[in-house]
Amino acid sequence: MNDGSPTTVPPTALIGVQLRWWEKYKFWLIAAALLVVLPHIPGLSSGYGRSLLSQMGITAVFALSFNLLLGQTGLLSFGHAVYFGLGAYAAIHLLRAVNGGLPIPIPLVPLAGAAAGLVFGIIFGSVTTKKAGTIFALITLGVVELVYAASFMLHGIFGGDEGVSANRTGGPRLLGLTFGPQIQIYYVIAFWAFVSAVLMYAFMRTPVGRLCNAVRDNPERAEFIGYNPQRVRFIVFAVAGMFAGLAGGLLAINYEIVSAESVGALRSAQVLLAAYIGGIGHFIGPIIGAAVLVWLQVNLSDYTSAWLLYFGLFFMAVVLFAPGGLAGLIMMHAPIVRTRAFWGVLASYAVALVPAAIMLVGAVLLIEMNYRLSTQPELGARMKLFWVDLDAATPWPWVTAVVLLAAGFYVFRKTWRFVAAAWTRALDEAKARFAGGTSP
């Protein structure tokens, strides 16, 4: 199931260097600082930018919880949104009660989602985790379809397609905060996202967390040494459900409305994609994946109406060429990042990037012209692509696009040699250093 073990041991630990606390918690401190600063960076400081960040935070928690299953325990779930969605419903109902006068501060409302996620994780998990592998995957598919259907039938609880809405400003004031402005809600989400990331990271370091890896890699052996794999799967499933529920609770306070789509199969597929694209073999993978996926989903449609096509192509490309996900691509460079030859690697990338970009431009031109002519003929054949006016009714743009694509691809393949050579040099240097015992 997994592409590589999570990078948990920092390379410095291997050579016995005593870490100072700063070194030890560097990652978390930087992450926390980033979370504080991000919504004030120009471009992200608008209401929309902040809601984009909030959405990324929610999806990141959701994807991390999903990765407890897929990355850590090797359980592929097609129905993780069930716990996310039910958590969201629990939180929105609590928020309604708060609107009705229940004195609970808004930042604590998402905990109702976590509780619901845990409860339903225990209920459904006791059934679904009896088996692993494909059977587990398909039971979760069955469960998600059943819950989704139920959400339409039980109108009183789920509110049908229009969903259940509440008002996050209608609660007790905390330190004078109304929780109306997006920035306040962003910080609530960032806080819970940070806390749950730390907790999930810590969970993976507990004996149960370690057992998850054992169950993933070799269930028979785990059983042989006296642990019941089914029990381990059940525990991790419930925990993952709880964090998914927390993410759902964050969704509830962010959008103040929860509808049936939150428990559906599409939402479940989305989290699978986020985790996989980010890289299920690294703790940070799902976070990167969530950010990239949310950004693509929200913004790609502004640039092109063919965004679903690019979306599909992007997944296929990640599966084919970056099996470790984006985090895998980045982490691949960890061993060589401190070598001098690393600059050579970067330079070789720069060289390869040029034909790759040309190739992409050719492909995008072809897709866009095709899409325009076939789905929006009434807009005419004249269009503006890459700041150039062109007429798709004439052959020249097509010839250009094909030439760009073909030539780009041809040259791109040629550049692979440079990249490979640069890599070899960097690896040799890294090996030499390691062997020579020079501490980096």
Whole-angstrom Cα distance, residue 136 to residue 73?
12
Candidate list 133, 206, 210, 333; residue touching another protein; CB under 8 A: 133
SS3 call for 167: coil
427 close to 335: Cβ distance less than 8 angstroms: yes
| CA nearest neighbour of 242 among 98, 62, 59, 60 | 62
Task: Provide the minimum distance between the beta carbon of 131 and another protein in the complex, in angstroms, as a whole number.
Answer: 6
Residues 6+ apart with CB under 8 A from 321: none
Nearer to another protein, 182 or 339 (CB): 182
- Amino acid in the structure at residue 416: W
Which window, 13-21, 184-192, 371-379, 430-438, contacts another protein (CB under 8 A)? 371-379
Q: Contacts for 295-298 with beta carbons within 8 Å, 24 or more apart?
A: 295/52, 295/56, 297/270, 298/52, 298/55
Candidate list 313, 346, 350, 353; residue touching another protein; CB under 8 A: 313
Is residue 27 at the binding interface for another protein, with CB under 8 A as the rule? no
Is residue 440 at the binding interface for another protein, with CB under 8 A as the rule? no
Whole-angstrom Cα distance, residue 77 to residue 129?
10
Is residue 154 at the binding interface for another protein, with CB under 8 A as the rule? yes
Candidate list 18, 320, 435, 438; residue touching another protein; CB under 8 A: 320
SS3 call for 373: helix
Candidate list 19, 123, 127, 337; residue touching another protein; CB under 8 A: 127
Nearer to another protein, 16 or 156 (CB): 156
Task: Provide the minimum distance between the beta carbon of 174 and another protein in the complex, in angstroms, as a whole number.
Answer: 17
Candidate list 111, 327, 368, 415; residue touching another protein; CB under 8 A: 368
Whole-angstrom Cα distance, residue 92 to residue 110?
9
Residue 382 pairs with which residues in a beta bridge? Answer: 391
Whole-angstrom Cα distance, residue 43 to residue 51?
12
Tell me the C-alpha to C-alpha distance, in Å, between residue 70 and each of 46, 51, 54, 76.
35, 28, 24, 5
Is residue 255 at the binding interface for another protein, with CB under 8 A as the rule? yes
Task: Provide the minimum distance between the beta carbon of 154 and another protein in the complex, in angstroms, as a whole number.
Answer: 5
Is residue 419 at the binding interface for another protein, with CB under 8 A as the rule? no
Q: How far apart are the first and last CA of the chain?
A: 33
Pairing of strands 257-258, 164-165: antiparallel
Task: Provide the minimum distance between the beta carbon of 128 and another protein in the complex, in angstroms, as a whole number.
Answer: 8
* DSSP string of 49-102, one letter each residue: HHHHHHHHHHHHHHHHHHHIIIIII----S-THHHHHHHHHHHHHHHHHHHTT-
Whole-angstrom Cα distance, residue 112 to residue 57?
18
Residues 168-187 that bind another protein (CB under 8 A): 169, 180-181
In this structure, what token pair is assigned to residue 407?
């030539």
Is residue 13 at the binding interface for another protein, with CB under 8 A as the rule? no
Candidate list 44, 97, 122, 141; residue touching another protein; CB under 8 A: 141
Is residue 8 at the binding interface for another protein, with CB under 8 A as the rule? no
Q: In the stretch 202-241, what mask flags binding to another protein with x, by CB under 8 A? A: ----------------------------------------
Q: In the stretch 322-351, what mask flags binding to another protein with x, by CB under 8 A? A: -x----------------------------
243 close to 200: Cβ distance less than 8 angstroms: yes
Which window, 96-104, 223-231, 267-275, 339-347, contacts another protein (CB under 8 A)? 267-275
Candidate list 371, 398, 409, 434; residue touching another protein; CB under 8 A: 371
Task: Provide the minimum distance between the beta carbon of 391 and another protein in the complex, in angstroms, as a whole number.
Answer: 11
Candidate list 53, 193, 273, 390; residue touching another protein; CB under 8 A: 273
Task: Provide the minimum distance between the beta carbon of 439 and another protein in the complex, in angstroms, as a whole number.
Answer: 34
The full length of the chain comes to: 440
Is residue 10 at the binding interface for another protein, with CB under 8 A as the rule? no
Residues 62-81 that bind another protein (CB under 8 A): 70, 74, 76
**Exposed e or buried b for every residue in 376-412, given b needs 16+ CB within 10 A?**
eeeeeeebebeeeebebeeeebbebbeebbeebbebb
Which window, 28-36, 141-149, 192-200, 418-426, contacts another protein (CB under 8 A)? 141-149
Is residue 188 at the binding interface for another protein, with CB under 8 A as the rule? no
Task: Provide the minimum distance between the beta carbon of 152 and another protein in the complex, in angstroms, as a whole number.
Answer: 5
Q: In the stretch 373-412, what mask flags binding to another protein with x, by CB under 8 A? A: -xx-xxxx-xxxxxx-------------------------
